[in-house]
Chain A
Amino acid sequence: MSCLENHPWIPSLTRDQVEKILRVIGVGDVSELFNDIPASIKLTREQWDKLEIGFGKPISEIEAKKILHGKLSKNTTLKTPPFMGGGVYPHYVPPLVKYIISRGEFLTAYTPYQAEISQGLMQAIFEYQSLMAELLEMDVVNSSMYDWGSAAAEAVLMSLRVNKGRTKVILPANMNPYHRKVVESYTWPHGVKIVKVPFNRETGGVDVEELKKLVDEETAGVYLQYPNFFGVVEADAKAIGEVAHEKGALFITGVYPIALGLLKSPGELGADIAVGEGQPLGLGLNYGGPYLGIFATRFDMNLVRQMPGRIIGLAESHRGERGFAMILQTREQHIRREKATSNICTNEALMAIAAAVYLSMLGKNGLVKLAEINYYRAHYAWAKMRQAGLTVDLFKWDFFNEFPVSFNKQGVKYSFIHEKLLERGIHGGLYIGDQYPELGETALFAFTEMHFKEDIDLLVESLTEITRRG
């Protein structure tokens, strides 16, 4: 006799139902349905039940809640959101966003393979694509990739397909190193030559003169992140695109969507492919995911046909109604198999809808205002830190909401600063001295609408005290 006689998630688990089903299918016991599993590998109930899976026995949801709350209470409560970015940021998550993506009709739906019964879902995804297209000023946006890193990797692979026969790709030294690692993993099997273009130590931006020396007829794509990993705005972005285009390479930009409230769009800068991270648009930090890989291109069929991922398009029914359908599917794995543009299937559709809801709330002026809050708060922190004698002017060019702070002058390791901040309930920036030894004891500090003046003052006061005491 099993200890489970019914379960809320298995409606057929009652004695009557089991007996009825067994009678209809004509077997005496459920175990007969597993007779095709070789005996040497078939587990007995006793063998299975003693494996460490869950807590050894079924528990109630009340117990599960108690257990999980108990464990998660061991996470540290900080006084302010972490002053940390590096690709994902502690931004606000509006309750409306969470509410819409928690509605069962969206949350529990599958990829809309049956279009007519899924029009609302498809319209929401189409609206994500369309809102993102306006923000990026790019024509075609797919319904999502996993995150920025994987979107950047797919963009690089796409540039190699578009420029067939070319084998070189240029990545700047000031791009996000985590994204770079993803690009390396994705391109590794394809014999791609990844060339690093250095950044200008004075401005913090990609060195255009160095880039000119590296781009040639073998170059399939040139990637530019703006703001770059150091938060710097890349004032020469347009010129960098022109250098790429002169040799027929694709210009790929990686963007932080909120920064576009203040910065020129990839479309205006002449990008062929734009990628980025949708996490700042109401998704939360989520300790690594789910995030939202943004992927867009120009309306040029030579590019669109090589695009990875799912796309929802406008359609009409035979009765003449406006509708939505999955389009350009002959690029995808379920049709094209090994010749597909990517293997991606499950993506981050719900996160795309979350971003669409947030972009709809912010609208034309809200996004600009949000970008300004981010910009001002970070620049306030910068000015206060400078006043306090900290080294914040590593680069000449302006930044958006993130900048490096060096502790070389103070002669202390950043790990010491970090430790002392943590003792005060503050989580400081991201140490980047390991990735950029030339910068020494340097950390990247990020500021958003979640960091109020008093939070920033607390950080600066703490840093001042910690560095003075050495």
Chain B
Amino acid sequence: MRTYRQANWSEPLIFELGSPGRLGITLPELEDEVKRVVGGVKIPESIKRSKPLNLPELSEVEVTRHFTNLTQMAYGVDNGPVPLGSCTMKFNPRIAWDLSFNSGVDQLHPLQDERTVQGLLEVMYELQKWLANIVGMDACTLHPAAGAHGELTGVLVIRKYHELKGQLDKKKEIVIPDSAHGTNPASAAMAGFKVIEVPSGSDGNVDFEALKSVVGESTAGLMITNPNTLGLFEERILEIADLLHKYDALLYYDGANLNGIMGYARPGDMGFDIAHINIHKTFSSPHGGGGPGSGPICVKNRLVDREKGIYLSDLLPGYIVVYDEEKGIYRLKGPGPHSIGLLKSFFANTIPLLWAYVYIAIMGPQGLRKVTEHCVLITNYFAKLMNGVRGYDIPYGKGRFRKHEVVLSAKPMADEVGVTAEDVAKGLLDAGFYAPTIYFPLIVKEALMTEFTETETPENIERYVERLKEISKIAYENPSKPKEWPLNTSVGRLDIVKANHPKYVAPTWRVYVKRLKGELK
């Protein structure tokens, strides 16, 4: 095995650096004429700042070194595999970085005249069309800023659909499988719905009989991923769609797992009415340590009101790029009378979207199909190599091939020697790997939800498996050892209980200092 030692700079906090009077940037001096004409600051005393800011004072040299050192104590796809399940942590190509970060878009105001941004609008218009084709839908808005934001948008569209049909008083429930991402129930609740959970069967599919028993007149919609969080394709998706549509409930596709089926099946063809797309998963824009993302929403042209000629696409929020054939220009269409409005102040997260445009352009349809084939190949390669390794199990859907991800369980190891999924995760960190998503989905005990994506090398899969075997070997030989992990990261295992204790909790430096001074109530 290669050895790994993460940097440890014991880097001070920014507040502990610098010296009074230092500045980290040159700013222009005000022109004499400007100073003369204005005379001075005339802000009323009642609102004028009266005391200095409590910000640190650093030179640019110090700021650069500080943040560079901090990056050396972080880990991304550029360092090695980040196989977080359902997060689709694929490689983020630098050509797309160049063409999005250095595109000049940082100087374009979202409210400036459409005629001055024709090039960008053309690109966004094409992207809307490409995305609609990829998911088999009729119309897309690029407006939502993230996956969960797209979910909220989608569920609000469902709400509006029932409102316009005059049936909101009875359509009060959103049905969600128990294997779903936490954002699904949270989004449904934010849109004012009651959440009804349905169990999964041992084959990994939604329990269809259980689903039939909860779907009825009060069902407003169903939110589901396909492939699901177990990495398994919902085989009865067409029957599920028919069941929901029978009660005039809408089907919402959570696009988190789109990487597993691109080019093979499309949500629109499966009967979904609304889908969100995670640009920062499937289409390679980077996660940035937690964001920005982008979560476009696409819909079928389902009729809402025949008399008034309202379609589902009329309910979409935000700004949609349209082409004005008469004038030969692209326009940004704001929310219409039936739209759910705005979910963020302006157009969309344009930089990740430009990134995705470059990625899709370079891949082409053939490349995207290969993306899916290879993420599935890699997943099943990993699952096969892990088959029968002591201490681990792969529950649900025995004998079925996985799609984009596979959920291992460390339950045997936890039951037999007390070494948990968390311990396994820390053991992976020590070998210079990022860990899978742990303890999720909730239906798998001691879950290690693993998604390598097509951008991982088979050699790294083999090394990862070797390390998981080694962890198991150590666990069974010396079960107390894994509790000491990690040893090779910049700090050891953190005391989360203490970090959350009311007498310790410090969400900012300000709170920390106030507590030291005894100023906290």
Asked whether any CB of chain A lies closer than 8 Å to the CB of B390, the reply is: no
What residues of B have a CB within 8 angstroms of the CB of A88 in the complex? 109-110, 345-346
Type the 1/0 row for A397-432, where 1 means its CB is closer than 8 Å to any CB of B: 110000000000000000000100010000100100
A427 to B112, CA, bound (A): 8
Known contacts: A286-B350, A287-B108, A384-B37. The answer to whether A149 contacts B148 by CB under 8 A is no
Q: Are A176 and B345 in contact (CB under 8 A)?
A: yes
Q: Are A110 and B89 in contact (CB under 8 A)?
A: yes
Asked whether any CB of chain B lies closer than 8 Å to the CB of A209, the reply is: no
What residues of A have a CB within 8 angstroms of the CB of B146 in the complex? 146, 344-347
Closest A residue to B235 by beta carbon equals: A36
Q: Are B78 and A189 in contact (CB under 8 A)?
A: no
Known contacts: A105-B71, A321-B492, A377-B34. The answer to whether A12 contacts B288 by CB under 8 A is no
Asked whether any CB of chain A lies closer than 8 Å to the CB of B280, the reply is: yes
Cβ 8 A contact of B48, one of A263, A363, A384 = A263
Q: Are A120 and B53 in contact (CB under 8 A)?
A: no
In chain B, positions 177-228 with a C-beta closer than 8 Å to chain A are: 181-183, 185-193, 195
Asked whether any CB of chain A lies closer than 8 Å to the CB of B463, the reply is: no
What residues of B have a CB within 8 angstroms of the CB of A363 in the complex? 18, 22-24, 55-58
What residues of A have a CB within 8 angstroms of the CB of B378 in the complex? 12, 21
Asked whether any CB of chain B lies closer than 8 Å to the CB of A201, the reply is: no
A147 to B143, CA, bound (A): 12
In chain A, positions 360-419 with a C-beta closer than 8 Å to chain B are: 360-370, 372-373, 375-377, 379-380, 383-384, 397-398, 418
Q: Are A120 and B123 in contact (CB under 8 A)?
A: no
Known contacts: A2-B366, A238-B46. The answer to whether A311 contacts B63 by CB under 8 A is no
Q: Are B288 and A362 in contact (CB under 8 A)?
A: no
Type the 1/0 row for B82-100, where 1 means its CB is closer than 8 Å to any CB of A: 1010010111110101110
Asked whether any CB of chain A lies closer than 8 Å to the CB of B28, the reply is: yes
Closest A residue to B133 by beta carbon equals: A51
What residues of A have a CB within 8 angstroms of the CB of B103 in the complex? 68, 72
Q: Are A178 and B346 in contact (CB under 8 A)?
A: yes
What residues of A have a CB within 8 angstroms of the CB of B91 in the complex? 9, 108
Cβ 8 A contact of A116, one of B55, B293, B384, B491 = B491
Asked whether any CB of chain A lies closer than 8 Å to the CB of B159, the reply is: yes
Known contacts: A24-B381, A59-B364, A453-B31. The answer to whether A290 contacts B291 by CB under 8 A is yes
Q: Are A36 and B129 in contact (CB under 8 A)?
A: no
Q: Are B49 and A263 in contact (CB under 8 A)?
A: yes
Which of B244-252, B257-265, B305-313, B474-482 sits within the interface? B257-265
In chain B, positions 27-59 with a C-beta closer than 8 Å to chain A are: 27-28, 30-31, 33-35, 37-38, 41-44, 46-50, 52-58
A9 to B95, CA, bound (A): 12
- Range of interface residues on chain A? 35 or more
Type the 1/0 row for B326-352, where 1 means its CB is closer than 8 Å to any CB of A: 000000000100001111111111111
Q: Are A65 and B70 in contact (CB under 8 A)?
A: no
Q: Are B46 and A150 in contact (CB under 8 A)?
A: no
A51: min CB distance to chain B, Å? 4
Asked whether any CB of chain B lies closer than 8 Å to the CB of A226, the reply is: yes
What residues of B have a CB within 8 angstroms of the CB of A12 in the complex? 374, 377-378, 454, 456-458
Known contacts: A233-B44, A263-B43. The answer to whether A56 contacts B365 by CB under 8 A is yes
Closest B residue to A375 by beta carbon equals: B41
What residues of A have a CB within 8 angstroms of the CB of B454 in the complex? 9-10, 12-13
What residues of B have a CB within 8 angstroms of the CB of A146 in the complex? 145-146, 149, 344
Q: Are A108 and B287 in contact (CB under 8 A)?
A: yes
A366 to B53, CA, bound (A): 10
A429: min CB distance to chain B, Å? 10
Give the one of B48, B90, B377, B493 with max A CB within 10 A.
Answer: B377
Type the 1/0 row for B414-440, where 1 means its CB is closer than 8 Å to any CB of A: 000000000001100100001101101
A149: min CB distance to chain B, Å? 4
Q: Are A350 and B507 in contact (CB under 8 A)?
A: no
Asked whether any CB of chain B lies closer than 8 Å to the CB of A436, the reply is: no
B128: min CB distance to chain A, Å? 11
Cβ 8 A contact of A430, one of B111, B151, B509 = B111
Closest B residue to A400 by beta carbon equals: B43
Q: Are B371 and A149 in contact (CB under 8 A)?
A: no
Q: Are A57 and B366 in contact (CB under 8 A)?
A: yes
Known contacts: A110-B287, A289-B349, A363-B57. The answer to whether A315 contacts B498 by CB under 8 A is yes
Q: Are A105 and B434 in contact (CB under 8 A)?
A: no
A65: min CB distance to chain B, Å? 6
Cβ 8 A contact of A288, one of B185, B348, B384 = B348
Known contacts: A10-B370, A184-B341, A345-B146. The answer to whether A189 contacts B23 by CB under 8 A is no
Known contacts: A129-B508, A380-B34. The answer to whether A41 contacts B112 by CB under 8 A is no
What residues of B have a CB within 8 angstroms of the CB of A200 in the complex? none
A109 to B64, CA, bound (A): 19
Closest B residue to A341 by beta carbon equals: B186
Q: Are B14 and A36 in contact (CB under 8 A)?
A: no
A178 to B270, CA, bound (A): 36
Known contacts: A40-B238, A116-B492, A301-B502. The answer to whether A9 contacts B38 by CB under 8 A is no
A135: min CB distance to chain B, Å? 7
A258 to B372, CA, bound (A): 46
Asked whether any CB of chain A lies closer than 8 Å to the CB of B120, the reply is: yes
Asked whether any CB of chain A lies closer than 8 Å to the CB of B464, the reply is: no
Q: Are A299 and B520 in contact (CB under 8 A)?
A: yes
Q: Are B47 and A234 in contact (CB under 8 A)?
A: yes
Asked whether any CB of chain A lies closer than 8 Å to the CB of B156, the reply is: yes
Known contacts: A2-B370, A149-B342. The answer to whether A289 contacts B41 by CB under 8 A is no
For B, the interface residue count at a CB cutoff of 8 angstroms equals 217
Which of A165-173, A210-218, A331-339, A462-470 sits within the interface? A331-339
What residues of B have a CB within 8 angstroms of the CB of A262 in the complex? 41, 43, 48-49
B300: min CB distance to chain A, Å? 14
A100 to B14, CA, bound (A): 15
In chain A, positions 88-113 with a C-beta closer than 8 Å to chain B are: 88, 90, 93-94, 96, 98, 100-113
Cβ 8 A contact of B109, one of A184, A287, A345 = A287
Q: Are B116 and A78 in contact (CB under 8 A)?
A: yes
What residues of B have a CB within 8 angstroms of the CB of A163 in the complex? none
Type the 1/0 row for A27-43, where 1 means its CB is closer than 8 Å to any CB of B: 10010111111101111
Asked whether any CB of chain B lies closer than 8 Å to the CB of A242, the reply is: no
Closest B residue to A129 by beta carbon equals: B508
Known contacts: A107-B78, A131-B14, A148-B345. The answer to whether A117 contacts B291 by CB under 8 A is no
Q: Are B116 and A427 in contact (CB under 8 A)?
A: yes
Q: Are B190 and A342 in contact (CB under 8 A)?
A: yes
What residues of A have a CB within 8 angstroms of the CB of B286 in the complex? 107-108, 350
In chain A, positions 48-62 with a C-beta closer than 8 Å to chain B are: 48-61
Asked whether any CB of chain B lies closer than 8 Å to the CB of A181, the reply is: yes
Known contacts: A72-B123, A189-B159. The answer to whether A325 contacts B499 by CB under 8 A is yes
Q: Are A34 and B264 in contact (CB under 8 A)?
A: yes
Cβ 8 A contact of B508, one of A64, A141, A380 = A141
Cβ 8 A contact of A361, one of B50, B63, B92, B505 = B63
What residues of B have a CB within 8 angstroms of the CB of A355 in the complex? none
Closest A residue to B62 by beta carbon equals: A360
Asked whether any CB of chain B lies closer than 8 Å to the CB of A245, the reply is: no
Give the one of B58, B146, B232, B384 with max A CB within 10 A.
Answer: B146
What residues of B have a CB within 8 angstroms of the CB of A437 in the complex? none
Asked whether any CB of chain A lies closer than 8 Å to the CB of B164, the reply is: no
What residues of A have a CB within 8 angstroms of the CB of B145 in the complex? 146-147, 150, 289-290, 348
In chain B, positions 392-417 with a C-beta closer than 8 Å to chain A are: 400-401, 403
Q: Are A73 and B189 in contact (CB under 8 A)?
A: no
Cβ 8 A contact of A360, one of B63, B264, B426, B500 = B63
Cβ 8 A contact of A150, one of B50, B344, B362 = B344
Asked whether any CB of chain A lies closer than 8 Å to the CB of B368, the reply is: yes
Q: Are A344 and B495 in contact (CB under 8 A)?
A: no
22 inter-chain pairs at a CB distance below 8 angstroms, sorted by A residue, are A53-B134, A53-B360, A68-B103, A71-B119, A81-B107, A107-B76, A107-B286, A118-B74, A123-B70, A140-B508, A178-B345, A186-B190, A288-B344, A291-B346, A321-B491, A323-B494, A333-B183, A338-B189, A345-B147, A364-B52, A418-B113, A427-B112
